[in-house]
Amino acid sequence: MSEAKKLYIKTYGCQMNVYDSERMAEAMGGAGYVKTDSPDDADMILLNTCHIREKAAEKVYSELGRFKGLKDARPDLKIGVAGCVAQAEGEEIMRRQPLVDLVVGPQSYHRLPELEAKARTGKKALDTDFPLEDKFDTLRHRPKAKRGPTAFLTVQEGCDKFCAFCVVPYTRGAEFSRPVDRVIEEARDLVDRGVREITLLGQNVNAYHGQGPDGRDWSLADLVWALDEVDGLERIRFTTSHPNDMDDALIAAHGDCAKLMPYLHLPVQSGSDRILKRMNRSHTAESYLRLIEKIRAARPDILMSGDFIVGFPEETEQDFQDTLDLIEAVNYGYAFSFKYSTRPGTPAAERDQVDEDVKSERLQRLQALLTRQQRAAQDAMVGREVGVLFEKAGRLPGQMVGKSDYLHAVHVTDPTIEPGQLARVEIVESGSNSLAGRCLPR
């Protein structure tokens, strides 16, 4: 038997890319590849890229340059670019960086083995189609390798919302939901392989409307309730949601479904109605706040998380103040914040831009407030009893780390705990980035 070839994948950006990288590795498994953790001994290097902000795309080019030495030493090494940069600038990548042998977009990566075979004949291979066949179907028969306790599962992809700053509708394409039975089948398979917690992924996951076994479209709430019945699956999460798609059934599920975790990532981007309108967000600060009230009425202890953009074109100091006010009103447990980054081809790229130093200064103020809230939410866990799903050994002897229901990292020193175990833990201390606790008797 010939020795397996080695595939090194580096993943940038969002959780969906993490999921896609896993699937690309499985697709290449069928072509005789095994994964390696280092580019140095790889037969193929694949960068799974992110195009959401300018810096993310630039990183790809600098990373590619670094592989020149490897490629000179081993001309057989194939280098590929996948993901959203590949989708947006595939041809440009091929022109700008001759080291690249193949380019594959996020909707065609099931064709990776054919592209690799073509590249092996010395030709350049590029596929950024939005094919009619379903990439998920082609990848159904997966190897049954053991998995860790947590996994991502893509249920919805693409976006029809066209926020004025965002490239996603162009790189990931139109909204698409996978059928319910396929999702359940994949969830069962993951559970068989050791998974206890599944995070359902979609760029607009709560707009999910996959075909149900009864032929009707099922909502995300319906899907959550179907997953609730999968034996051995202990926890369900989903991300990322749009405020306008948060329907009553999904809100109610946060109160009624014990497996659905009390953490919700619900980006608002800005607290200024003027800016929200220019962003084409089709909700207001007020409607967002009312929505959060409803969610908290269903699940009072839910931890809210958000995304914010500062320095969107034409943002004034008053607009920015409105964002700070909204943050004060919501009180976030977790948040991601960014300086607006001009993306060619999106409507906002053409408008009056805010100075870079103004953006930097606003980002600092915003992050100071968010960090305070985050800190307070974490510290407030001390003395509480929470569920923790343990994932791996910690740095100290006998230490295990996992995530709480609220997604805080928690460590305990307890030699009886194994990865994959879900335990009740009393939180005793709040550290810089994690909580410490002790396991309670079952």
Q: List contacts with ligand 5AD (CB under 6 A).
A: 52-53, 165-166, 267, 269, 307, 309, 338, 340-341, 343
Give me the residues paired with residue 425 across strands.
386, 439
| Alpha carbons 21 and 17: distance in angstroms, whole number | 6
Q: Which of 23, 237, 242, 411 binds ligand SF4 (CB under 6 A)?
A: 242
Q: How far is the CB of 128 from ligand 5AD (least distance, A)?
A: 20
82, HSE (Cβ side, Cα atoms, 13 Å): 32
Q: How far is the CB of 116 from ligand SF4 (least distance, A)?
A: 30
| Token code pair at residue 97 | 């960086």
Residue 320 interacts, among ligand 5AD, ligand SF4, none and using kind-specific CB cut-offs from 5 to 8 Å, with none
Q: How does strand 235-239 pair with strand 197-201?
A: parallel
169 forms part of the interface with ligand SF4 (CB under 6 A): yes
Containing 93, the helix (H) or strand (E) segment is: helix 83-96
Minimum CB distance to ligand SF4 smaller for 56 or for 139 = 56
Q: How far is the CB of 169 from ligand SF4 (least distance, A)?
A: 5
241 forms part of the interface with ligand SF4 (CB under 6 A): no
149 forms part of the interface with ligand SF4 (CB under 6 A): no
17 forms part of the interface with ligand SF4 (CB under 6 A): no
Helix axes 317-330, 356-379, angle to 10 degrees: 10
Minimum CB distance to ligand SF4 smaller for 6 or for 242 = 242
| Alpha carbons 319 and 393: distance in angstroms, whole number | 46
Residue 53 interacts, among ligand 5AD, ligand SF4, none and using kind-specific CB cut-offs from 5 to 8 Å, with ligand 5AD
| Alpha carbons 423 and 413: distance in angstroms, whole number | 13
Minimum CB distance to ligand 5AD smaller for 219 or for 241 = 241
50 forms part of the interface with ligand SF4 (CB under 6 A): no
Q: What angle do CA 254, 256, 257 make, to 5 degrees?
A: 75
Exposure class string for 51-81: b at 16+ Cβ within 10 A, else e: bbbeebbebbeebbeebeebbeeeeebbbbb
Minimum CB distance to ligand 5AD smaller for 259 or for 283 = 283
Residues 6+ apart with CB under 8 A from 380: none
Q: How far is the CB of 246 from ligand 5AD (least distance, A)?
A: 15
Report how many residues bind ligand SF4 under the rule CB under 6 A. Answer: 10
Q: Which of residues 195-214 bind ligand SF4 (CB under 6 A)?
A: 203-204
Residues in touch with ligand SF4 (CB under 6 A): 159, 161-163, 166, 168-169, 203-204, 242
